[in-house]
Structure 1
Amino acid sequence: MEKFIEIPNLPKGEVSLVVCDGRINSDVEYNLREMGIKIIKTNKQKLLYEAVSYHPDILFHHLGGDKIVIAPNVDDKFYYALEDEGFNLILGKDKIEGIYPKDVLYNVARLKDVAILNIRYTDEVLLDELIKRNIKLIDVKQGYAKCSVCIVSEDAIITSDRGIYKKALQNSINSLLIKPGYIDLFELNYGFIGGCTGFISNDTIAFYGEVESHPEGTEIKNFLNKFEKKHQNLSKGKLIDYGTLIPLKEYCII
């Protein structure tokens, strides 16, 4: 049996369904499927620039349970793939487009009752849904808030963004600040730690690539251990920013 993950990004058991960038390499796909995880792949969104054109965390935001706020201009195939899994899709107000900040409207990092986001650039519908749920909003300058944040627990993150790091500490969120770079992002200079990670079980965070390839890989693993989390490398080599691996369902026993 399966159930919807109630707290976005933070499953309580073994993950059964994830959304991934449609360009994930064969090793990533094989390893996820070997763990019994179903994959919904994104399709290219033509209005976005190439590097992020498939990134899940650009296209939608999981509110928890069966509720998702989704950009109104995502392709039909992806929309119906989520709907077929039983999700209640709430259309955002604004379309995602290639020019910043029109591509970060749904890029919100959610930790249980807290959301890290740039309020000015967040889609109005998504903002209203967060407020209705009494989610505490931590306003940051970084528009790519979810891309920049690896969620470790309900009150812990990893980021290379100093502004997010400072705001997190001010709001009693444990935070590890790492060096920017050392993560591939197609034709761009580098990607972000949030975009190469995501939970695959309650105590395991998956990495696109090898965490050991990062110069602060040891510090990252030690930080995960501090919060009783393990890591799982999904492929060999350098870390790759495919956009957050987003868990949506988990196995359950009734």
Structure 2
Amino acid sequence: MAGNNDSLLIVDPRTPDNEVSEIEALGFKVVAAECLDFLYEGVKGHPDLQFAPVGETLICHRGISLEKLKELQGHGIECITSFAALALPYPGHVILNASIGGGALIHRTDITDGALLEEAIRQGLRLIDVRQGYGRCSTSFIGNGCFATNDSGVAAALSENGFRVFISPYGDVELEGFDYGFLGGCLSLVVTGSDRLVLVSGNLNEYVMGRELREFIISSGAIPIEVGKGRLKDRGSVLQVFKKRN
């Protein structure tokens, strides 16, 4: 299975080396996000708080270091910085945390950063307004019109807009410093050639609805790839970012 030379994957910098190696073995170039010490300890390196890929454009949080920005641009990534800076308390740190896929942006749009909204509208995405500020954390696009989520309100909105939805209750996902993490943070759609892969941070056999989730992913036409061992872990997802074509 060959990787995609037209993209790179952004991961939490605290992802264990063995898991990064498993991802790289699929043929992908992996780049680490940064640890932002002003955020909660458990999420300070989560890519889905720091970035939002929209087509071939990457919206980066306003406080990204010059070194990291140059690294991404050096790989051929077109970067736009957010209008606002990430900040605590909620919702200041989730302004980029929209779930994007299937031609839609799903988020609490009254808090979505303006740069992300403008780019989404420019690219013709549908804006699906929900009350969940943790849009990407709670909800992952699986591809082929399918999403997986913990949030019943998001699930209802997606269903009303014609998407297939897998929903499971909150809980049974590990996240440091919290009682539990989000399902979306465990699932990451990546595309390589004609293959659609869903990277799963952990073992589906150890998830309360793991068998059902595996079947849903496969029914969508994707291949579940379990990365690491043990219970599912919210790592802020792995973000695939496509290089700008000439």
- In structure 1, what is the equivalent of residue 36 of structure 2? 45
Aligned residue for 2:9? 18
1:209 paired to 2:202: yes
How far apart, CA to CA, are the structure 2 residues paired with 1:31 and 1:169? 34
1:249 deviates by 4.0
Contact 1:105 1:123 in 2 (8 A): yes
The reply to whether residue 168 of structure 1 matches residue 158 of structure 2 is yes
Indicate the residue corresponding to 2:171 in structure 1.
Answer: 181
Within 5 Å, give how 1:128-167 maps onto structure 2.
128-167=118-157
Judging changes above 3 Å, is the alpha-carbon distance between structure 1 residues 233 and 86 closer, same or farther for their aligned structure 2 residues?
Answer: same
How far apart are residue 30 of structure 1 and its match? 1.6
Please state how far the C-alpha of 1:87 moved relative to its aligned partner.
1.5
Matches of 1:166 and 1:180 in 2, distance apart? Answer: 16
The equivalent of 1:236 in structure 2 is 229
Aligned with 2:115: secondary structure?
A: helix
**Structure 2 CA distance, aligned partners of 1:248 and 1:63?**
9
**1:21-43 deviation line (CA, Å, top 9, x unaligned):** 00101221121122222110112
* Unaligned segments of structure 2, at least 5 residues: none
CA contact (8 A) 2:202 2:233 kept: yes
| Cα distance between partner residues in 1 of 2:153 and 2:22 | 34
- Cα shift at 1:151: 1.2
SS in 2 for 1:147: helix
Counterpart contact for 1:20–1:244, Cα < 8 Å: yes
Q: How far off its partner does 1:111 sit? A: 1.0
What is the letter of the counterpart of residue 228 of structure 1?
G
What does residue range 94-105 of structure 1 map to in structure 2 within 5 Å? 94-105=84-95
> Are the counterparts in 1 of residues 55 and 242 from structure 2 also a CA contact under 8 Å?
no
User: Aligned to 1:112, which of 102, 124, 128?
Assistant: 102
Task: Give the structure-1-normalised TM-score.
Answer: 0.89
SS at 2:100 equivalent: strand
> What SS is found at the alignment partner of 1:189?
coil
Whether 2:60 is the aligned partner of 1:63: answer: no
CA contact (8 A) 2:138 2:183 kept: yes
SS at match of 1:219: helix
Deviations 1:61-103 (A, max 9, x none): 11112x1111111223322221111112111110001311001
Residue 212 of structure 2 aligns with an amino acid whose one-letter code is: E
Matched-pair contact (CA < 8 Å) for 1:191–1:241 = yes
Task: Please state how far the C-alpha of 1:230 moved relative to its aligned partner.
Answer: 1.6
CA positional deviation for 1:55: 0.7
Conserved 8 A contact 1:47-1:96:
no
Partner of 1:195: 185
- 1:85 and 1:78, CA in 2 relative to 1: closer, same or farther beyond 3 A? same
Higher relative contact order (CA 8 A, sep 6+): 1
Give SS of 1:205's match. strand
Identity of aligned residues (%): 24
2-structure distance, mates of 1:144, 1:205: 20
Q: Aligned to 2:154, what secondary structure does the other structure show? A: helix
Give the unaligned 5+ runs of structure 1. Answer: 1-12
List, as ranges, runs of 4+ consecutive aligned residues in structure 1 with deviation greater than 4 Å. Answer: none
Structure 1 residues 67-86: aligned runs within 5 Å? 67-86=57-76
Name the TM-score, length of structure 2 as normaliser: 0.91
Q: For the Cα contact (< 8 Å) 1:45–1:75, is it kept in 2?
A: no
Bigger shift: residues 56-65 or 77-86: 77-86
Provide the residue aligned with 2:23 in structure 1.
32
